[in-house]
Chains A and B, each alone.
Chain A
Amino acid sequence: MSYYISLLFNGLVSGGFVALMSLGMSIIFGMMRIVNFMHGSLYMLGAIIAYFLGFYFGASIWIGMLAASILVGVLGAILERTLIRRLYGLDLAYILILTTGLSLFLEDTVRNFYSVTSSAPFLVPQVLKGAVNLGFIVYPKYRLFVVVVSILLCLGTWFALERTRLGALVRAASERPSLLKCFGGNVPLLISGSFFFACALAGLAGALSAPMRNVSPYMGQEMINIVFAVVVAGGMGSIAGSVVMGFASGILQALMAIVYPQASTVIIYVLMLVILVVRPGGIFSGVDISQFPLHYTPMTERVRAFFLSRPAAMVALAVGFLLPWFVYPILATDIILWGLFAVGFDLLFAYAGLLSFGQAAYWGTAAYVMGVLAMTFGAPTWLAFIAGVAISTTLGLFFGLILARKKGIYFSMITFAISAIIAFVVNQFADYTGGEDGLHGLSRGTLFGMDLQNDRVYYHVCMAIVILVIFFLCRLLKSPYGLSLLGARENERRMMSVGYNVFFLRLKAYVLSAFIVSTAGALYALNHQFVTLEMVNWRASGEPVMMTLLGGAGTIFGPVLGAGIVVVMRNALSSITDNGSLYLGLLFITVILFARRGILGESLHNILDRQQNTSPHNGSDGKTAGNHSEPVHSSKEAADVD
């Protein structure tokens, strides 16, 4: 019995960390409608600070907690004031890239100075050492301390928000910032203050975890995934929801560890998926995000027309043929296949308005199905390839039926959960998939007498497929279907009122995207002649998001260019420096801040749009700092003025 109780307590301990983190994420989202993807890095930073202070200066956990929360809080507030503030009111994707960029930057910087992986038991002072007998259970004092501290902090935060004047101001500022200003509220200060507090909580959670968890520069990554799922399942922006779900996730994981240990990491995603399907807004009602339009900086009609034109296709074709002369063929193939992956993602993102965090589900599934058929069942490569793409696309149809009705961050989260579950399944059937080792020794075989084992031949075959897909896509986007898809992105209700079935439009786009991504994934696996877990990893889902925004969303060739930049940079940087991800992080930050249309999109915008239209069009976009109610107001006024 006491074994089970202590497991439950362990659940409360890890739930406490998650709750503190989710609480901060939730405050930030409620206040600024920002999903802070660097929250995990702040947690890591808190742990590192505590570790460092304890190791070199013999500081106790008290000093560690204090220093970590203040330093991390101040860092968060500085980043908010200087960078994040510029993105208020913009599409989630930009925030994802900026905060991910910051995350990469922080993690790599820390790794430069400190890359040991160990816990910091020396932080625990004498009072908290040993165990305490609670009557029904003997439990380590420090763990109990963690539970008590996290519960107290959550209750304290709830009290401060719901029962004090400061809390009322914070709530007012998150509801109608511009109105609060008319009553003398200092909204920018409230925002920075909330950011400080939320980041300080993350730092404190990190410090608190240092004595019992492995402190490493990457410890935030797993944390952020769980926290993200918890915040969404709890109801975005709901304080109570995030805390309750935080503790629940810990307990649930602890229970799973008894029943079915392998699934304890994936259970939270399953839970989130179930919650979002049954109760689309999360268990507690959070901030109403349907009222909150996310602005995205689209291509102008002129730029879009250019990308769908013949000269653009000619240039791309020429680059495609020249590519294997500049980089070795396997890398060239990598570029165009990642590019195809990104194009598939971009179809959903820029044209259907759906930000998917989980396209790796299809990238990986196609590769694995093909691999398993070829390796275990000895199917010929071409058959395995077709079957892989077909099965993976069918899977896309199945999930699409659930997903096409969702929008915004809920769509993104469900895609994320789906890919996490697929990754889990792949890992679970290690007998077939090779588990951690993956599947090695795939053969590319031959096609119409061509020896595909030749890298150069294989590149050209892949290129032919990529050209075919892009050609088809260009035609499709010019067709009535493409235009109605864009229409649904611009104004869903209007499209419905003129008789379009928006659900069906989106479902088609989703399945098509799954098909493109599956094709790319299977080809990619053949290129390297192996399949590994990395292909279903969440990071693989993040890649096309970055590539697309880097090159230019909605520009067809932009995502391929973005893929080229990322792949070549990774490759080149890894031979020059250890700090590849640091530079990549900086690149993302720069692009999001200065070239929101992406490299290709922004340069063409400058060339094509500026000469026609001298008035600065985007003068006002992105300047709605914290004005959540503003868009609603101004559109009403604008309608009045007409």
Chain B
Amino acid sequence: MLKITNLDSFYGESHVLQGIDLNVEAGEVVTLIGRNGAGKTTTLKSIIGDIPRRTGSIVFNNAEIINATSEQICKMGVGLVPDDRGIFSTLSVYENLTIGRPVGPQAWPLSRVYELFPVLKDRNAQKASSLSGGEQQMLAIARPLYMGSTFLLLDEPSEGLAPVIIDAIGSAIQQIKAAGLTVLLVEQNLPFATEVADRHYLLENGRIVREMSNSEVATEEESLLAHLGV
């Protein structure tokens, strides 16, 4: 579904991603793990087109999107859940949820979104900034579903949340997977990552150094944690 070959990305002068190769098949949940600054978020931003300078090849659903704009990429079915959750604080919960117009037949109707995250229905008219962290994360995940994205980019959805909320988010991701969506997940929380994902890529200094299975991550958890510094 997504195939990245030799992707280089830059912030001004600094060369952040140096030849990333990865691929994600339809229906998979794949994580990117790596320490702070390895280029995980940058990879997601490069896919959605939020990095002005990027070279190489990103093929999504057989279309080359390396030169496409964020708007075009989003309309092709890529949905972003940013690391800071990307809530528009001056908008209400409902306005946030519906900020992207539904595109394509995959779009979830509001009723289905509310079924997954009932709290969003209750808080409908509230300002989104008044939600708790976990609720904001749910809203952030719900947005691309409403829009009909088939491929989700999730940037550390478990970050800064209470364990019970992390479980709820994890089960939501599994339901999303069950619904046939594909997910590329950035995660530092290894137990969480192995619980929801099929495969893992280890990033180091802007390069993919290893592809790992769930069992490899589980057996090497100690050394990985030491490596990640978390």
Contact = CB atoms under 8 A, between A and B. Distances in A.
Interface string A150-193: 00000000000000010011011001101111111110000000
A233 B101 CA distance: 37
A171 B50 CA distance: 20
Given A171-B91, A172-B99, A637-B41, A182 B48 contact: yes
Contacts of A178: 50, 70
B88 A184 contact: no
A301 interface: no
Contact of B91 (A172, A181, A619, A642): A172
Nearest to A184: B74
B199 interface: no
Interface residues of B, number: 35
Contacts of B147: 183-184
A567 B70 CA distance: 49
A183 B11 contact: no
A169 B99 CA distance: 7
B11 A634 contact: yes
Central interface residue in B69, B90, B143, by most chain A CB within 10 Å: B90
A620 interface: yes
A184 B80 contact: no
Nearest to A287: B90
B36 A640 contact: yes
B103 A184 contact: yes
Contact of A638 (B11, B86, B92, B98): B11
Central interface residue in A184, A185, A186, by most chain B CB within 10 Å: A184
Contacts of A619: 12
A596 B137 CA distance: 42
Contact of B37 (A165, A620, A640): A640
Interface string B167-188: 0000000000000000000000
Given A168-B91, A638-B11, A638-B14, A183 B69 contact: no
Contacts of A169: 99
A183 B50 contact: no
Contacts of A183: 74, 80, 99-100, 143, 147
Contacts of A640: 36-37, 41
Contacts of B41: 637, 640
A278 interface: no
A259 interface: no
Central interface residue in B11, B13, B98, by most chain A CB within 10 Å: B11
Given A171-B91, A634-B11, A641-B14, A184 B37 contact: no
Contacts of B37: 639-642
A640 B90 CA distance: 28
Nearest to A179: B86
A634 B103 CA distance: 30
A137 B169 CA distance: 65
Contacts of B103: 184
Interface in A600-642: 615, 619-620, 623, 634, 637-642
Given A183-B100, A641-B37, A172 B16 contact: no
B215 interface: no
Contact of A175 (B14, B70, B74, B88): B88
B89 interface: yes
Given A172-B88, A638-B11, A182 B42 contact: no
B25 interface: no
Contacts of A620: 12
A4 to B, nearest CB: 40
B27 interface: no
A183 B78 CA distance: 9
Interface string B61-102: 000000001110011000010100010111110010011110
Nearest to A181: B70
A328 B75 CA distance: 67
Contacts of A180: 88, 99
Given A168-B95, A171-B91, A172-B91, A184 B101 contact: yes
B16 A641 contact: yes
A445 B125 CA distance: 75
Contacts of A171: 88, 90-91
A637 B48 CA distance: 16
Contacts of B39: 641
A178 B71 CA distance: 10
Interface string A409-431: 00000000000000000000000
Contact of B11 (A165, A181, A641): A641
A175 B90 contact: yes
Contacts of A634: 11-12
A634 B147 CA distance: 27
Contacts of B14: 638, 641
Contact of B82 (A179, A185, A623): A179
B74 to A, nearest CB: 5
Central interface residue in A179, A182, A634, by most chain B CB within 10 Å: A182
B11 A185 contact: no
Interface in B10-25: 11-14, 16
A641 B13 CA distance: 12
Given A165-B98, A171-B90, A638-B14, A186 B50 contact: no
Nearest to A615: B13
A185 B48 CA distance: 13
Contact of A182 (B11, B16, B36, B74): B74
A638 B143 CA distance: 28
A620 B99 CA distance: 30
A182 B155 CA distance: 14
Contacts of B75: 184
A619 B39 CA distance: 23
Nearest to A161: B90
A287 B69 CA distance: 28
A175 B36 contact: no
Nearest to A634: B11
B95 A181 contact: no
A524 B13 CA distance: 48
Contacts of A168: 88, 91-92, 95, 99
Contacts of A641: 11, 14, 16, 37, 39
A172 B14 CA distance: 29
Nearest to A172: B88
Given A176-B88, A178-B50, A638-B11, 18 more contacts: A168-B91, A168-B95, A172-B88, A175-B90, A176-B86, A179-B82, A181-B70, A181-B71, A182-B48, A182-B49, A183-B80, A183-B99, A184-B75, A184-B103, A184-B147, A185-B99, A186-B71, A637-B42
Q: 8 closest A-B pairs (Cβ-Cβ)?
A: A640-B37, A183-B100, A181-B70, A168-B95, A184-B74, A172-B88, A182-B80, A171-B90
Interface of B: 11-14, 16, 36-37, 39, 41-42, 48-50, 52, 69-71, 74-75, 80, 82, 86, 88-92, 95, 98-101, 103, 143, 147
Interface of A: 165, 168-169, 171-172, 175-176, 178-186, 615, 619-620, 623, 634, 637-642
30 contacts: A165-B95, A165-B98, A171-B88, A171-B91, A172-B90, A175-B90, A178-B70, A179-B80, A180-B88, A181-B49, A181-B70, A181-B74, A182-B49, A182-B50, A182-B70, A182-B74, A182-B80, A183-B74, A183-B147, A185-B71, A615-B13, A620-B12, A634-B11, A637-B16, A637-B41, A638-B11, A639-B37, A640-B41, A641-B11, A641-B14
